């Protein structure tokens, strides 16, 4: 049995997230169905990250096991079979113990907010046609939140987590132009709904609804009712999943 790792990108607009769902279409389902046809046996993918409905992925990985040889021109044939909004960009053979989810050391998310309506960015950014927020206050909030480890309050209810501790490596708001806000956060792991919770809650800071003292109370009490998840998933992008340097020395096939 050999283990392979594929690199994936997709537009999440038409999917109910990455992971298989009983009553909704997922990216995992579409990939497994088409790969099973190519390999002529059932392929089961294990993804590096789960995503909510509508969330986009610029780079993630999934591994699978097979006893069969790789089909000829696998990437070309697979991408021809897949819908236009899913792409498999590379494949490499990895050690049989490699795990795309548990071996990942860092994940990066970006969230895009626009003050200006753009019909060409429908389902790609969060239209926020209100008074501009205080980005300096939001970055002060970032500095405080980075110093914490327990993010239980930012995890949606009924999530199955063995721990709610996360190591935040980087968190910042930037304003590339007068119409756009971009949030970037890097961490070793994320809880279910955590990035949306961070964005929604820090927007309250930017609007003056919450102060830093309010955030301190939130983190001290882990009061979920203070966290706002009310931002659309369609503006959220998983942009990078990183592993140890040895992974990048493995040649592509």
Residues designated as active site:
52
CA torsion 84-90-95-97 (nearest 10°) is -30
DSSP per position, the chain: -EEEEEEEEE-GGGSS-SS--SSS--HHHHHHHHHHHHHTS----EES----TT-EEEEEEEEEEESSPPPTTHHHHHHHHS-TTEEEEEEEEE-TT--TTTT--EEEEEEEEESS--GGGTTTSEE--SSPP-HHHHHHHHHHHHT--B-GGGS-TT---S--B--EEEEEEEEEETTEEEEEEEES---TTHHHHHHHHHHHHHTTSS-HHHHHHHHHHT-GGG----S-GGGEEEEEEE--GGGGGSPP-
106 contacts 186 by C-beta, under 8 angstroms: yes
């Amino acid at each position: 049995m050999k283990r392979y790792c594929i690199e994936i990108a997709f537009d999440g607009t038409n999917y109910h997230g990455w992971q298989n769902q009983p009553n909704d279409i997922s990216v995992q389902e579409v990939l497994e169905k088409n790969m099973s046809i190519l390999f002529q046996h059932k392929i089961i993918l294990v993804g590096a990250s789960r995503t909510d409905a509508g969330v986009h992925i610029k780079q993630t990985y999934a591994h699978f096991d097979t006893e069969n040889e790789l089909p000829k021109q696998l990437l070309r044939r697979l991408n021809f079979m897949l819908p236009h909004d899913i792409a498999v960009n590379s494949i490499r053979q990895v050690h049989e113990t490699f795990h795309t989810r548990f071996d990942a050391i860092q994940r990066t998310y970006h969230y895009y907010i626009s003050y200006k309506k753009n019909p060409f960015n429908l389902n790609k950014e969060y239209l926020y046609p209100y008074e501009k927020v205080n980005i300096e206050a939001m970055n002060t909030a970032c500095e405080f939140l980075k110093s914490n480890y327990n993010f239980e309050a930012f995890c949606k209810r009924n999530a199955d987590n063995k721990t709610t501790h996360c190591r935040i490596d980087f968190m910042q708001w930037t304003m590339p132009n007068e119409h756009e806000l971009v949030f970037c956060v890097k961490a070793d792991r994320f809880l279910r709904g955590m990035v949306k919770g961070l964005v929604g809650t820090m927007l309250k800071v930017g609007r003056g609804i919450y102060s830093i003292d309010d955030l301190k109370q939130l983190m001290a009490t882990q009061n979920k009712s203070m966290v706002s998840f009310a931002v659309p998933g369609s503006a959220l992008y998983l942009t990078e999943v990183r592993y140890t340097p040895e992974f990048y020395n493995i040649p592509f096939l």
